[in-house]
Structures are given as structure tokens and as C-alpha cells.
Chain A
Amino acid sequence: MNLKDKLVSSYLAFDDHLEDDSPIHEIRKKAIHTFEEKGFPTKKEEDWKYTSLKSILNKDYSVFPKGDKEVKFKKVRNYFLYDIDSYKLVFIDGVYSSFLSETTHDGLDICLLSAALSKSKYKAVIENYYNKAAAKNSISSLNTAFAREGAYINIPKNKEVEKPIEIINFSTGNESALMVQPRNLIVVGENAHVQIIERHQSLTANPVFTNSVTEIFAEKRAYLDYYKIQNDKENASLIDNTTIHQEQDSNCKVHSFSLGGKLTRNNLNFIQNGEHCESTLKGVTILKDKQHVDHNTLVKHNAPNCESHQDYKGLYADSSTGVFNGKVIVEKQAQKINAFQQNNNILIDDNATVNAKPQLEIFADDVKCSHGCTIGQFDEDALFYLRSRGIGLKEAQALLMYAFANTVLESVKIPELKRRINKLIANKIGVNIGFDI
């Protein structure tokens, strides 16, 4: 039985256990219908032209893991930002772990989506926001049909969250192959500020397929700073679907660090609905072996006087493949838009591939939009300069790589996180230099 059929039939079993009257039930039914109709995307679809899911769909994933596995904090300490205080939402094989988590209801809600979906006091928020931002394509619909658990974060008006929030999804390898579908709903109220770090981590080499959906709503003057750390094991694959709706004067930033995993696909959508919004999308991708990362971004400018900045850097070694598919749409009414998109790639080895498709679709005339895309290699002169000063080839290359990626790193606002990412990058490149220059 292929994965699609398995999922569709699993849904029937799952559906039997659901309460009939919940409004979510209707949403689920519609979603599974969409998925059944369209199935998993194939390379024939323009949006998936450069990414084939074939290699991850052939496994026999268990869709409803038992989730009775405990994880010792000592074992996973390194995956947390342990040197600073933070709120934590930890899920093990898709199930909430109260032991590792630190939630709150004190003036703001940092808790579980399952609670928000079932308790009546959250009903208004759920009705207002749930599934309103998520794309209605087959892969997001698949998540919508099965989604049970994830983070629910609701920051009220004028609240500045004093410490970062970490959302971490562990998979234990308890099952021989696991499919998880976390679902996050984040509402940042008027003039509220929040920093969020998201991470998916498998603890063994068993295959994991994560299909995650995150919906974010940034109200007027809201400020959101979101970091995605993607440094998973070699058999873990991730499809991340994140949609952010922005209201007037809001400022949202997403940084993606794609260093690990077998296949990673980031569908990152920004929808600007109010004036004077600012959106920032940045990413560093460093790959080797047969890794594949596909950044698919969309910035939709629906209102005038807004800005968007995109900056994606990629370094590809061995037989790895990098894809950048960025789209900026400026609607007719969205005059005075500044939209910038930058994508730079370095190919390190002969078998590495880069496919880029930076697109602009512009319907308003008073705009400044540009995109730049380059593919190249290390500057021989710069390498020579460093080596003539006694720096080894590997270190010299590492320094250049770091400098190349620095435009993204420099805007990381949490110092501890920045240090951590520097270390991850140094590990990935295989050098032992501290980059905290």
C-alpha cells in the first residue's frame, strides 16, 4: 500500500474517534478530501519542479505513534538553549512532554494546541484564526486533516514576552519509521513582541518524515522574530509550511538555518494585509552528501507602503542540491512597495546542483522591486591571501564561507542562539574555529 492510500485509510479510523460536532471536524473532512484528490505533489507541478518526494514516500511510516517513550533531559540538553531561560514546548514523537516543557498561562498563553482546540475558553480564538492562514494545497491539507498537537501561543496586546519560546519536536526512533504532523498556531497581539525558536530533531537514525504547519498572525504593530533550526539526522525529512499574516505596522522576521536532514522543503509565505508592514526572510543553507533543501518563499504585498527583504545564502558540497524558489507578488493597490530578494549560492563540488527560480509578479507601478541571484565559487585571490598568511585551506575556506553567510547571521537577535549557530556551522564545515569574532 502506498503512503497516500495508507494515510487516507488511517484517516477513516482516526475520524471514528473524533467528536462529531466540533467545527474542526468539518475542516478535517474537507482537508482529507483535498489531499485524497490531489495526492502528494510531484515534479510535474511547477512549485515542485526541482524537488521529488519519491525518496521519502516509499517508507512504511507509522502515522499514530505510541508516544509512551520518555526522554532524559541530560540526553537532549544540547538541543535546548540551556544557558538562558526560555519557555519550552517539547513534543516527543508528536506527543506533548510535560516533563521537558515549561508553559505558562500567566498573562499570555504558551500551551498546547490540543488544549486550545478542546477547551471552550479558546473557542473564539480558534474560530478566528485556526486554518485561516494555512495554504489549501495538498500537503498542508494533509496536516490539517491529521493535526492534533502542536504549540498554541497567544500573546495579548502590548505584552512583551521577556524570554524566547522554544518549540522542539523530538523523534525517538521507537518506531522503525515515523511520520509526524505538528501544527502550530501563533497569534501575536497588537504591539506585542515575541521571539520563537523552532527545531525538529530525531534522536536515532530511523527515518522520520515531518509535515509541519505553522500559522502566525501578527496584529497591528506586532513584532515577531522566528528562528528555524534545521540540523536533523541524515534520515530525517521535513516539509515545513509556515504562513504569516501581517497587519498594519507589524514587523516579522524568519531566519532559517538549513544544515541537516535528508530532504527539507520550506514553504514560507508572508501575506501583508496592512500598510507599513515589514517582512524579513533570511536563510543559510550548508549541505553535503546527498542532502536536498528547497526554499520556496512567497511574499504577497496587498497593501501600500510596505517593505520586504529576502536574503538566502547557500553552500553546496558533494552531491547536494539546493533549490531557491522565491516569489514576490505586488498587487495593484499596493503602491510604494520596496521589495528586495537576494539569493547567492556557492558550489563547492562538481556533483552539487543549484536550481534557482526568483520570480517577481508586479501589478502596481510605483514600486521598487529587485532580485539578484548568483551562482559562483570561492574567490581564488581571497583564498590565496588567507593561505599566504598561514591559514590552512580548510580554515581559509571556512572563513570565506562564514563571511559569505554573515549577512544572515548578523541579524540574529539572541546572542546565545547566534553562538550556537556559529558552532553548528563550524561543525558542519568540519573546522574548529570560534566564529565569535
Chain B
Amino acid sequence: MAKFTENDLKKDLETKEYEYGFYTDIESETFPIGLNEDIVKAISKKKNEPQWMTDWRLEAFMHWKSMEEPDWANVNYKKPNFQDISYYSAPNSKPKYESIDEVDPELLDTFNRLGISLDEQKKLAGVAVDIVVDSVSVATTFKKTLAEKGIIFCSISEAIQDHPDLVKKYIGTVVPQKDNFYAALNSAVFSDGSFCYIPKGVKCPMELSTYFRINQAGTGQFERTLVIADKESYVSYLEGCTAPSRDENQLHAAVVELIALDNAEIKYSTVQNWYPGNKEGRGGVYNFVTKRGICEKNAKISWTQVETGSAVTWKYPSCILKGDNSIGEFYSIAVTNNFQQADTGTKMIHLGKNTKSTIISKGISAGKSQNSYRGLVKINKNAQNARNFSQCDSLLMGNECGAHTFPYIEAKNKSAQIEHEATTSKIGEDQIFYCNQRGIDTEKAIALIVNGFSKEVLNKLPMEFAVEAQKLLEISLEGSVG
């Protein structure tokens, strides 16, 4: 066999297609493009929402109209025309399914191709899944099992109908309507998303998971997730996303709010694999997401993310450490290849005493991509004995990509202890040589080194996801070392 050279590897990578790029031909109802007050009202009506929710959306829309699209992030893209997008698309007009058997077989097939077999999962009793296609939640598994424990896990539209008091109490408390441009847009037009409530003292027995898929052309996806962990409860939540390959740029502007009450713990993991665009940088999803959690006393929120997809990513999962002794964690791997651009990081706002935060961010850039870490660690005046440790490492592959670090550190309390360190390097020739010497070929050596580089983050993922994430990393990066 001829020697497998780095050039071959490079070619391999370039020709490697985005394997979730298919489009499923499902009958769907899509709103006309454009955004105005009537569309917002129409979405609300479609969802059969109570008046307070419609008003809340309209208020957000009013704010949005007066806001400007932010441009401080280290990304370049053609700004989407917000009047060119359809704000609502549902796979079909049937009412929500009672059981999986009623789901359109074509849709089920889609999920099988995505590697999420709903049937199988039902049998394995592993993960409860809520699936959102385009704008609407199509299936939620294990609802009954969860209900026995008092756990509410459903789509947010259902929650608005069935648990309005909970939604009303918490929605917009962590990410207010006018928080930022995309959050305001989402608040006005969000069509679905997941809602989760873990009652007091309950440890959720299984991983809860939402799978997001953009299917229709010309639509944007605006989902809203609200997770509430009541006192002394625990939940681990997973989120995955894919989209078909299209030449146009599709917009995804989501909002995730986490509320961890006293002594509660929320673990939120994301594997983001939206369509990243082709190797010339055409198409791909714009991923503009606002994620934030609030920790009350002794609570803990842990964000883990593996970002491999999207043409442009703008995402800063944050923790407000309001209660004393609360803990915030952020573990991230962001991989960019070809023309992808990612500007991602976190904010840790220390308000309570003895609060702790940890940030581990690994950025890997290859091809012609740009990868930025942007983070804020803020210690407020009353946050006695706050502690932060941040580590941001970047790995560069090839000489046409860029890696950037923009940390902001603000300390207003003398007892604060903050450490921040960042490194940027490439895979050492000696490291590869060492592996080669021991009979490991270059391709495997790189996979090995990248895996080692990302280990600290991968280890934080639930097992089911860790395997998927590792696979994703390999797909995204194999052979991109120049």
C-alpha cells in the first residue's frame, strides 16, 4: 500500500461530507417570510397561547425593533435579512402525538439516519428525548416515567398550556427580553423548545435530552429552553443539533435559561453540529445563542459544550453565581475548519460569598477558520472569597487559520483569587515523531493528540455523548495538520 501522506489526509478531510446534510421531504406548514407584529401575534395564536404570553412576545418585539445587531464579536458574515426568513415552520399541521407510533414514518426514518432511534431508546431506557424539528416539538419520550417522579419534561408550548404559573414565574428572569438583539428576537418569535421542571429533592433518574433539527429551507429556528431545578434536585440535560446542507445561511437564535434553586445541580451538555457550510465557506448555519443560568445558595451549574458545526457561532453560556457557595463550571471544545468562525466563551458573574467558577476552554482551528475565546470573570464587591480558575488553550493546524483569546477579568473584592492562563501552540513535530516511532501513523497520532488535548472537556460529557463527540472531533479534524 502506498504511503498515506498528509496531503492525502487533507484531501480526505476536504471531501468528507457533512453526513447529516440530507433533507427530509415532510409535509410542513410554513409561515410567509417576514417579521412584523402580526406574525408575532400569529405565532402566539397558532400555539393557542394565553394573552400574557402574547403580550410578553409583543413587548420583546418592541424592544427588538429598537435594537441593533451586535458587531463586536470577532466574526465576519453577511448579516441576515430578518424580513427574508420564515419564523414558523411545523413538520405538519396535525396535533401533537400521543405516542411514538403515530409519528410520521418519514420523520422516524430521519431520526434513524441521524442515529437517534426513538424505539431503541425507549427500550434501552437510557435517555428521555424531546425532539424539535424546525420550530416545533414533534416527540417527547418517557413522559410517563418521568411524571411518576413529578418531573415535568415537555415542549415549552405544552408547558405554557399546562403549567402556565411555572413558565410565567421563570421565563425571562435569567435572560430578559431585552437582554440582547438575538434574545429579544427569540423572545418575540420563539416557536417551541423544551421545558423541564425537577421538583424539590428529586434526582432525575435519566438524562434528559433535546434533539434540534432545522429541516425546511428559508426558515430560522428559534427555540427556547427553560430548565428549573427546584431545591436539592439534580438533572443532567443534553442537547444535540443538526441541519441539512444548504447554500443559504440559516439562522438559529436560541435562548436557554437555567434556574438552579438552593442546593440544586444542573448539568447541561451540548453537542452542536449544525451544518458548517461547504469547504468554500458557502452556506451553513448562523448560530447566535444566548445561554445563561442562575445559581441560588449552594447550587451548581455546569455547562459542557462541544462545538463543531455552524458557519458562525456566537455563544456564551454563562453563570450568575447569586447564592453563597454556588458553583459555576464551563467546559468547552470548539472546533473550526474550512471557513467556520466561532466566537464563544463564558461569563462567570460572582455575586455571592464563597462562589467558585472553573473555565476550561479548548479551541482547535484548522483550514481557514477563525476561533475566538471570549470570556468574562467578574467578582463583585460583596463576593467574599470568590475563586476562579480559567484555562484557555488553542491548537492551530495549518497556517491559514487563527486563534484568538479575549478574556475580561474584573475584580472588585480583595479576597478574590483569580487565575487565568492561556496558551496557543501547534501539534509539535516531536509529538508526532514520538508516535510514529512507536508505530502509530500520523493520522492516528493527530487524533490521539487532539483527544488528549480535549480530554479534560470530553471527560465531563455523559457517556452517550462522549462517544458521539469524540467521533465528531475526528471527522472535523482528521488530516488537517499542515
Contacts of B416 in A (CB 8 A): 347, 375-376
Q: Interface code A344-378, partner B: CB below 8 Å = 1, 0 otherwise?
A: 01011111111111111111111111111111110
Interface residues of B in 352-383 (CB under 8 A from A): 379, 381
| B420 near A358: Cβ-Cβ < 8 Å | yes
Q: Which residue of A lies closest to B397 (CB)?
A: A365
Partner of A365, one of B72, B398, B411, B413: B398
A154 to chain B, nearest CB (A): 38
| A373 near B407: Cβ-Cβ < 8 Å | yes
Q: Which residue of B lies closest to A332 (CB)?
A: B399
In the bound assembly, the distance between CA atoms of A358 and B375 in angstroms comes to: 11
| A332 near B400: Cβ-Cβ < 8 Å | yes
Q: Does B403 contact A (CB under 8 A)?
A: yes
A271 to chain B, nearest CB (A): 19
Q: Which residue of B lies closest to A364 (CB)?
A: B399
Q: Interface code B415-459, partner A: CB below 8 Å = 1, 0 otherwise?
A: 111111111111000000000000000000000000000000000
Partner of A362, one of B397, B398, B403: B403
Partner of A374, one of B408, B418, B424: B418
| A376 near B410: Cβ-Cβ < 8 Å | no
B126 to chain A, nearest CB (A): 40
Contacts of B379 in A (CB 8 A): 375
| A350 near B381: Cβ-Cβ < 8 Å | yes
| B421 near A365: Cβ-Cβ < 8 Å | no
Contacts of A349 in B (CB 8 A): 414
**Known: A355-B408, A357-B406. Is A372-B421 also a contact (CB below 8 A)?**
yes
Contacts of B196 in A (CB 8 A): none
In the bound assembly, the distance between CA atoms of A335 and B425 in angstroms comes to: 11
Q: Which residue of A lies closest to B376 (CB)?
A: A357
In the bound assembly, the distance between CA atoms of A360 and B396 in angstroms comes to: 13
Q: Does B263 contact A (CB under 8 A)?
A: no
Q: Does A46 contact B (CB under 8 A)?
A: yes
| Most chain B beta carbons < 10 A, residue from A335, A349, A362, A368 | A362
Q: Which residue of B lies closest to A325 (CB)?
A: B408
Contacts of B402 in A (CB 8 A): 361-363
Contacts of B422 in A (CB 8 A): 358, 360, 370-372
| B409 near A356: Cβ-Cβ < 8 Å | yes
**Known: A365-B398, A367-B425, A370-B423. Is A375-B72 also a contact (CB below 8 A)?**
no
In the bound assembly, the distance between CA atoms of A369 and B402 in angstroms comes to: 13
| A373 near B418: Cβ-Cβ < 8 Å | yes
In the bound assembly, the distance between CA atoms of A345 and B409 in angstroms comes to: 11
B431 to chain A, nearest CB (A): 13
In the bound assembly, the distance between CA atoms of A295 and B410 in angstroms comes to: 15
The secondary structure that dominates the B interface is: strand
| B420 near A359: Cβ-Cβ < 8 Å | no
Partner of A373, one of B403, B420, B423, B482: B420
| A347 near B424: Cβ-Cβ < 8 Å | no
In the bound assembly, the distance between CA atoms of A372 and B392 in angstroms comes to: 10
Q: Does B404 contact A (CB under 8 A)?
A: yes
Partner of B424, one of A332, A348, A369, A376: A369
Interface residues of A in 304-343 (CB under 8 A from B): 332, 335
| A375 near B409: Cβ-Cβ < 8 Å | yes
Contacts of B425 in A (CB 8 A): 367-369
Contacts of A348 in B (CB 8 A): 414
Q: Which residue of B lies closest to A349 (CB)?
A: B414
Q: Does B412 contact A (CB under 8 A)?
A: yes
| A357 near B413: Cβ-Cβ < 8 Å | no
Interface residues of A in 231-281 (CB under 8 A from B): none
Partner of A359, one of B404, B410, B415: B404
**Known: A347-B416, A373-B418. Is A357-B411 also a contact (CB below 8 A)?**
no
Q: Which residue of B lies closest to A348 (CB)?
A: B414
Contacts of A364 in B (CB 8 A): 396, 399
| B412 near A366: Cβ-Cβ < 8 Å | no
In the bound assembly, the distance between CA atoms of A368 and B396 in angstroms comes to: 11
| A362 near B396: Cβ-Cβ < 8 Å | yes
Contacts of B408 in A (CB 8 A): 355-357
Contacts of B401 in A (CB 8 A): 363, 365
Partner of A354, one of B398, B411, B421: B411
Q: Does B405 contact A (CB under 8 A)?
A: yes
In the bound assembly, the distance between CA atoms of A369 and B426 in angstroms comes to: 10
Q: Interface code B296-307, partner A: CB below 8 Å = 1, 0 otherwise?
A: 000000000000
Contacts of A355 in B (CB 8 A): 408-411
Q: Which residue of B lies closest to A376 (CB)?
A: B417
* Interchain residue pairs with CB less than 8 A apart (9): A354-B409, A362-B396, A363-B399, A363-B401, A365-B398, A374-B417, A375-B409, A375-B416, A377-B415
B residues lining the A interface (CB < 8 Å): 72, 379, 381, 394, 396-426, 482
Apart from A368-B423, A370-B421, A370-B424, what are 19 other A-B pairs with CB-CB below 8 Å? A345-B411, A347-B411, A349-B414, A353-B412, A354-B409, A354-B410, A354-B411, A355-B410, A358-B407, A360-B422, A361-B405, A362-B403, A365-B399, A368-B425, A371-B422, A373-B420, A374-B420, A375-B417, A376-B417
The 7 closest A-B pairs by CB, nearest first: A347-B414, A365-B396, A375-B418, A356-B409, A373-B420, A369-B424, A360-B405
